[in-house]
A and B are shown apart, each in its own frame.
Chain A
Amino acid sequence: DIHMTQSPSSLSASVGDRVTITCQASQYIRIYLNWYQQKPGKAPKVLIYDASNLETGVPSRFSGSGSGTDFTLTISSLQPEDIATYYCQQYHILPLTFGGGTKVEIK
C-alpha cells in the first residue's frame, strides 16, 4: 500500500493567514493526489483533484501543488468557514489510501 503522511496533524492560525498543509507519498504517485475538506459531523468534500485542479464551486483561496511524492494544499487567506480537517488521498495504485488528516483551527 502507498502510505500518505500529512503534516502538521493540526494547526492554529488567524483569520486572513496563509495556511500550508503538506502530504508526502511513500512512493511516486505522479499527480494522482486529491484533497478533501471535512467539517465536523459532515462527509468529506473534494477540494482539489489531480494535485492542482480546483473542484467546481470551491473558493479560489484554495490551491494545490506538487507531483511525484510531495504535495501541498494552500489556503491563501484563512476564513472562519475553513475550520475543518483536511485529507489527502492518492489513486496511483490500489488500494486508494488517505493521509491521516490535518485539523485546522482558528487562533
Chain B
Amino acid sequence: KNQVEQSPQSLIILEGKNCTLQCNYTVSPFSNLRWYKQDTGRGPVSLTIMTFSENTKSNGRYTATLDADTKQSSLHITASQLSDSASYICVVSVNTNAGKSTFGDGTTLTVKP
C-alpha cells in the first residue's frame, strides 16, 4: 500500500530559527513529490514540486530535498517567521494524474516570537 509518513507531527520553534521537516514514502512507481503549506482555515498552497531527477529545489526561505533511493524528502525552513506557522503537507504522486496522489498527515509548525 502506498504510504507517506511525515515527522515530526508537530514542532515549536522560536522566530528566526531554522527547522527541517521530514517525509518518508513508499509510493511506487514514483512520479513527483510536492510540499504544500496550509494556513489555519485555508486550503493548502503548493510550495515546491520535485521530480525523480531533482535533488534540491528552493523557494525563498524554503528548500526541499529529495533522495529517491532512500525515498525520503525534507523541507528546510531558514530564518523562520511568525507567518511560517502552518501545517506542511507532503504529497507523492505515482503518475501525472493528481488523482493518484498520496497525502501525508502533515507537520504542524508553530513559530513563537
Query: Do A and B actually bind?
Result: no
